[in-house]
Chain A
């Protein structure tokens, strides 16, 4: 909320000099070593299967690139069951990732789901039953241009959702979004007058934790709610998909706390550091909790194609150099593919021209 970074700046005043700093500075703090704990991430939604569950142990790392491979759990048995007697097993697909196998087992609004994880060390963890609550449709999306840029982030499109909260109290929302946006690299030579890997379309997911409770606006429209920022690296269309998910009260609190605990400012407004309690417990010792949360959500979608017209020079700071890297774009940029046309399935989506 508060960014108290008061940069040093001095002026020669009347007869005295002010020199005031309040600044944050990055420091190294070793992570205390404790026993690794099970971390579960996953959810069932009203989307068609498969559903994904990620299993790993907590450890000592500070960046997602630096996760030691041995923290991933690859030999667990994962089962998802509902309150109507149905269930599906999961199979491991990659390091720590498991996918549901029964393609007829899909999330339904009103049903209750429970995840069971049997670890090879004999411990069994289970999630508390989680119900899929209904979610309203997204009315519309709107787009604004964000002219702010830094050396690391170019200008971008800000995407906002509009929806209507139903009259019943106790609705909790989460939004996620992804965009496919144009990228450019220098490309690599493939012979005389031949260059490949110059233009790509990159998939960007919003990593923000975006949750809302209707506590203060029950029954009212949710207007102009920010959901995504799609950076402008190069000319071209942005294909945006926004998901609106329903949450249970418990999972809303969980996600809100995740946000609170990771978006600190160091100021007096920071809540005290506290462990995040999820809904997964050890069946044999109910007081032993795993980290993470297994959720259940109904989903509504909205797509929009942003067609930028006459992109002004100042919005394309990136184009003049720093965001065009040397090499093949599909190799340089994660989740980028060579393509310039509309992605499959997007041909008939709503278009929004942005000037």
Chain B
């Protein structure tokens, strides 16, 4: 048996009780009971045998057995499917009573994981395409940076998903901007997904169930972002017993508890507190003078009055603090609350959701006499209604609607001390509301043809109170070309946008193992993140579509071949996609984004196109499992303006910041037995586009780079290998007490992957520097204990 490779003598729990009873002649009977070592429940059907006596019986439903043997030294065998065969040598002189506890075989994969991972046929049979499904159990066993398992880092191993670099927040799907991803936690959008300026994701994997990222065909009930949907659901508490899980890693501690309260209520509560300062203190130089701290917490209470109904309340909060050695500190937080009611009236399932989500970012200046607090914030209140009904044996019809109210503070600055010379200044708040409705029909027309056709209509109103500047036509917008100001009172609609968003998916079965899937998807985005940096930073703020900022409009078509091999042991797919996005937000050269009351005059609309091919293959079961994905893709932008001076790269298409043509990723896992497994990741990705100077000049005695062309250059390619050993002491899914230990090596061959290449003055010269964030091998260990 393969487990013998790592075999150590199994520790078996044996209790032998002797009881006396006389017997006739040279035979006697051995009585006993066989139970499960862990659950202590009786096992029925266990075969109990003796070779010498040539007798054998099986245990009854109470686990009891009676075996007649001859009086001699005997070796008894207890065997049962899925359990380790146990042998016991006895020399009974009289009738004997035995209590035997059998241990389960270490499973190939824990049942929990097997249950959670989707049906293997789904790859071919489902209508869904362009999705990435992540198993949380597996996520915890992949290699980690500083011992933190991380949702976004895991996603970036999938085809079509990239990040800007290590330590940078957000993620990019199929060449899209980070603000084009709709990240939902229990149906509620999260406006910030970063901890520690982007080193980690804001949600602990322990808080969520297995999740799916939709890179293309987003279901009709969702809208509002043009690139992707990441739907996270907070884990429900279990119904059997209160359980605890605690995890310690070099940067954080996590603790979660879940379980039932009475018969119909269950709960989940927990969170993470990080202490990166402890680690930062280990370094010399500036980082030691920095300070950081973050936490996130979640609570979910569910009430199940009957089998079809469920009421749940989810609360989530995350908080971050980061201070640089200089005078600036950053504080940002997300707060979220969701109330969901799900039930059934006759054949109609319905769901009512009311939610609230807010993100607040504070930048604090701590310099004496200039103490300030610059706040930006966004919040959303939303009510959603969803219905679905099986209208035919092969057809499910769903419909619903939602209304959301948004409020944005694009920036307000205030003094933080009485002696501060800073004046209070607040940008005008933005308010808006969105009304949306959808219908969707999923119909398996024939056994080999399924269609999902849906349409969503969303209408967005930008509302007063607000003063809108009117700019002179025929000139580039600027403060100088304002000729009028229109004042709108509270609730007055300033601008309304809206439109149909069709979503269609077709699955054509070519044979039982192969299908062709096609999809078309349109969505509109009314919220934009204003950011003149490549990654998301705490300085960025959200902006609504208004009179000068039309909604982003994304259209995507995709086609793919999906095929399973070897009785579904291997899943493979190849997808091509083409995506067009209108009205992307780009920035004028020299744009001033912070506290700019004329911000619209520094923004430019741009069009984007992205296309690519994604090929992936997966082996999801067995001792060796793994996933390999290769993507070839492009993502290009083009600024639309009538004024040559505002044009970027002379008005031609140029690579977007997320254009990374080649992307290869491999993840592999080997079960070593005895609960041990080995996992490895390899990632190769073309370097990110960058702008290098094309000529220098001198002003004020310093050399100044002239960046006349955007993104004409590239950083060196990124590649990295990670490895991890993990140990899971569980032998069956329901086991209460167990440990998971993960020992990781990140960036095994210590490649100095550059985050950026930049030019800066030093004395009277201009020098190029390369910044590497995690340029060495990073070992870490994490211990998770459950009880």
Known: A39-B697, A275-B708. A222 touches B769 (CB 8 A): no
Tell me whether A209 and B700 are in contact (CB under 8 A).
Answer: yes
Q: A62 and B766: CB pair below 8 A?
A: yes
Contacts of B24 in A (CB 8 A): none
Q: Is the CB of B284 within 8 A of A63?
A: no
Known interface pairs A6-B287, A9-B284. Does A61 touch B703 (Cβ–Cβ under 8 Å)? Answer: yes
Q: Does B775 contact A (CB under 8 A)?
A: yes
**A10-18, A98-106, A133-141, A347-355: which lies at the B interface?**
A10-18
Q: CB distance A222 to B693 under 8 Å?
A: no
Judging by beta carbons under 8 Å apart, are B282 and A9 in contact? yes
How would residues 692 to 707 of chain B score, 1 for a CB under 8 Å from any chain A CB and 0 otherwise?
A: 1111111111111111
What is the CA–CA distance of A29 and B759 in the complex, to the nearest angstrom?
Answer: 9
* A111 proximal to B (CB < 8 A): no
Q: Is the CB of B765 within 8 A of A62?
A: yes
A130 to chain B, nearest CB (A): 14
Interface: A196 (CB within 8 A)? no
Q: Do B533 and A59 touch across chains, with their CB atoms under 8 A apart? A: no
Stretch at the interface among B125-133, B417-425, B520-528, B666-674: B417-425
User: Is the beta-carbon distance between A56 and B693 smaller than 8 angstroms?
Assistant: no
Q: Is the CB of B698 within 8 A of A56?
A: yes
Nearest neighbor of A255 in chain B, beta-carbon distance: B700
Chain B, range 748-787, C-beta contacts under 8 Å to A? 752, 755-761, 764-781
Check A8–B776 contact: CB distance below 8 A. Answer: yes
The distance in angstroms between the C-alpha atoms of A292 and B774, with both chains bound, is: 38
Judge whether B231 is part of the interface by a CB distance below 8 angstroms.
Answer: no
Instruction: Report the Cα distance A267→B770, complex, angstroms.
Output: 10
Contact yes or no, B697 A223, CB < 8 A: no
Stretch of B88-96, B301-309, B588-596, B606-614 contacting A (4+ beta carbons < 8 Å): B588-596
Residue A20 interfacial (CB < 8 Å): yes
Task: List residues of chain A with CB within 8 A of the CB of B755.
Answer: 266
Say if the beta carbon of B511 comes within 8 Å of chain A. Answer: no
Q: Would you give the shortest CB distance from A90 to chain B, in whole angstroms? A: 18
B764 touches A63 (CB 8 A): yes
Pairwise interchain contact B595-A1, C-beta atoms closer than 8 A: no
Task: Select from chain B the residue with minimum beta-carbon distance to A17.
Answer: B779
B656 to chain A, nearest CB (A): 11
Contact B324 A2 (CB under 8 A): yes
Contacts of A193 in B (CB 8 A): none
Check if B283 sits within 8 Å of A276, measured CB to CB: no
In the complex, A194 has a CB within 8 A of chain B: no
A337 interface residue, CB < 8 Å from B? Answer: no
Task: Indicate if the CB atoms of B764 and A217 lie closer than 8 Å.
Answer: no
The reply on A190 being an interface residue by CB < 8 A is no
Cross-chain pair count, CB within 8 angstroms:
269
* Interface pair B704/A31, CB less than 8 Å apart: no
Looking at A44-52, A257-265, A321-329, the stretch in contact with chain B turns out to be: A257-265
User: Which B residues lie within 8 Å of A266 (CB)?
Assistant: 755-758, 769-771
A32 at the interface (CB under 8 A from B): yes
Number of B interface residues in the complex (CB < 8 A): 93
Please judge, given known A-B contacts A258-B700, A269-B537, A273-B705, whether A18 and B423 are in contact too, CB under 8 Å.
Answer: no
B411 CB, nearest partner CB in chain A, Å: 11
Assess the A270–B758 pair: CB atoms within 8 A.
Answer: yes
| Contact bitstring A260-291, B, C-beta under 8 A = 1, else 0 | 01111111111111111100000000010101
Question: Do B766 and A262 touch across chains, with their CB atoms under 8 A apart?
Answer: yes
Q: Report chain B residues within 8 Å CB of A168.
A: none
Question: Which of B587, B691, B699 contacts A273 (CB under 8 A)?
Answer: B691
**Contact in complex: B770, A27 (CB < 8 Å):** yes
Complex Cα spacing A6 to B285, Å: 7
Known: A27-B769, A276-B704. A4 touches B533 (CB 8 A): no
Closest Cβ of chain B: how far from A265's Cβ, in Å? 8
- Choice from A3, A64, A268 contacting B168 with Cβ under 8 Å: A268
- Do the beta carbons of B537 and A268 come within 8 Å of each other? yes
Whether B369 sits at the interface, judged by CB under 8 Å, is: yes
Which of A28, A263, A264 has the most chain B CB atoms inside 10 A of its CB?
A: A264
Cβ < 8 Å to A, chain B residues 367-412: 368-370, 372
Residue of chain A at shortest CB distance from B326: A1
A86 at the interface (CB under 8 A from B): no
| A64-B765 contact given A216-B423, A224-B369, A258-B699, CB 8 Å threshold | yes
Please name all residues of chain A whose beta carbon is closer than 8 Å to the beta carbon of B534 when the two chains form the complex: 268, 270, 272
> B197 at interface (Cβ–Cβ under 8 A)?
yes
**Residue interface mask A324-350, B partner, CB < 8 A = 1:** 000000000000000000000000000
A263–B413 Cα distance when bound, in Å, is: 25
Contact check, B423 vs A59: say whether CB atoms are below 8 A apart: no
With a CB–CB cut-off of 8 A, which chain B residues contact A314?
A: none
Residues of chain A lying within 8 A (CB to CB) of residue B592: 253
B328 within 8 A of A: yes
A50-B780 Cα distance, complex, nearest whole Å: 66
- Residues on B with C-beta less than 8 A from A292 are 697, 699
Question: Which A-chain residue is minimally distant from B282 (CB atoms)?
Answer: A11
For chain A, the count of residues having a C-beta within 8 Å of the partner chain is 85
Q: Are B700 and A4 closer than 8 Å at their CB atoms?
A: no
Closest CB of chain B to A49's CB: distance in Å? 21
Per the 8 Å Cβ criterion, residues 330-375 of B in contact with A are 368-370, 372
A264 to B762, CA, bound (A): 11
Q: Mark B725-760, 1 if CB is under 8 A from A, else 0.
A: 000000000000000000100000000100111111
B533 touches A219 (CB 8 A): no
The B-contacting residues of A in range 57-77, CB under 8 angstroms, are 57-65, 67
Q: What is the bound-complex CA distance between A49 and B283, given in angstroms?
A: 54
Interface residues as binary, B488-530 with A (CB distance below 8 Å gives 1, 0 otherwise) = 0000000000000000000000000000000000000000000
Report which of A31, A221, A224, A263 forms a contact with B696, defined as CB distance below 8 A.
A31
Query: Among B690, B692, B693, B777, which residue has the most Cβ atoms of chain A within 10 A?
Result: B693
Bound state CA distance, A245 and B756, in angstroms?
36
Whether the Cβ atoms of A27 and B757 lie closer than 8 Å is yes
* Selected contact of B533 from candidates A60, A224, A263, A271, CB within 8 Å: A271
- Chain B residues with CB below 8 A from A309, complex form: none
Q: Is A310 an interface residue (CB 8 A)?
A: no
Q: Which residues of A contact B708 (CB under 8 A)?
A: 34, 275
Is residue B10 within 8 Å, beta carbon to beta carbon, of the partner chain? no
A62 contacts B767, C-beta separation under 8 Å: yes
List of A residues within 8 angstroms of B533 by Cβ: 268-272
A22-B773 contact, Cβ under 8 Å, with A32-B712, A262-B761: yes
Nearest Cβ in chain B — how far from A108, in angstroms?
Answer: 23
What is the bound-complex CA distance between A4 and B393, given in angstroms? 61
**Contact present for A267 and B712 (CB under 8 Å):** no
Determine if A24 and B776 form an interchain contact, defined as CB atoms under 8 angstroms apart.
no
User: Which residues of chain B come closer than 8 Å to A254, judged between CB atoms?
Assistant: 590
CB nearest to B328 among chain A residues: A1
Distance A263 CA – B326 CA, assembled complex (angstroms): 15
Q: Decide yes or no whether A25 CB sits under 8 A from chain B.
A: yes
Contacts of A61 in B (CB 8 A): 696, 703
* B780 & A16 in contact (Cβ 8 Å cutoff): yes
Is A31 within 8 A of B770, CB to CB? no
The residues in B between 630 and 662 inclusive whose CB is less than 8 angstroms from any CB of A are 644-645, 657
Chain A CB within 8 A of B198 CB: yes
Contact B778 A19 (CB under 8 A): yes
Q: Which of A17, A33, A65, A257 contacts B590 (CB 8 A)?
A: A257
CB-nearest residue of chain B to A223? B369
Q: Is A81 an interface residue (CB 8 A)?
A: no
A18's partner among B282, B590, B758 (CB-CB below 8 A) is B282
Shortest Cβ-Cβ A-B pairs, 4 listed: A266-B771, A63-B765, A32-B694, A58-B695
- Since A29-B759, A64-B702 are in contact, a sample of 17 more A-B pairs with Cβ atoms closer than 8 Å, ordered by chain A residue number, is A2-B324, A3-B325, A18-B250, A20-B283, A20-B778, A27-B770, A31-B696, A32-B693, A32-B712, A34-B708, A37-B706, A57-B697, A62-B767, A207-B702, A262-B766, A273-B693, A273-B705
Can you list 10 A-B contacts with CB-CB less than 8 angstroms, sorted by A residue number? A21-B776, A26-B770, A27-B768, A39-B698, A62-B765, A67-B698, A258-B699, A258-B700, A268-B536, A273-B758
Interface residues of A (CB under 8 A from B): 1-9, 11, 13, 15-29, 31-34, 36-37, 39, 41, 56-65, 67, 205, 207, 209, 215-224, 249, 253-254, 257-258, 261-277, 287, 289, 291-293
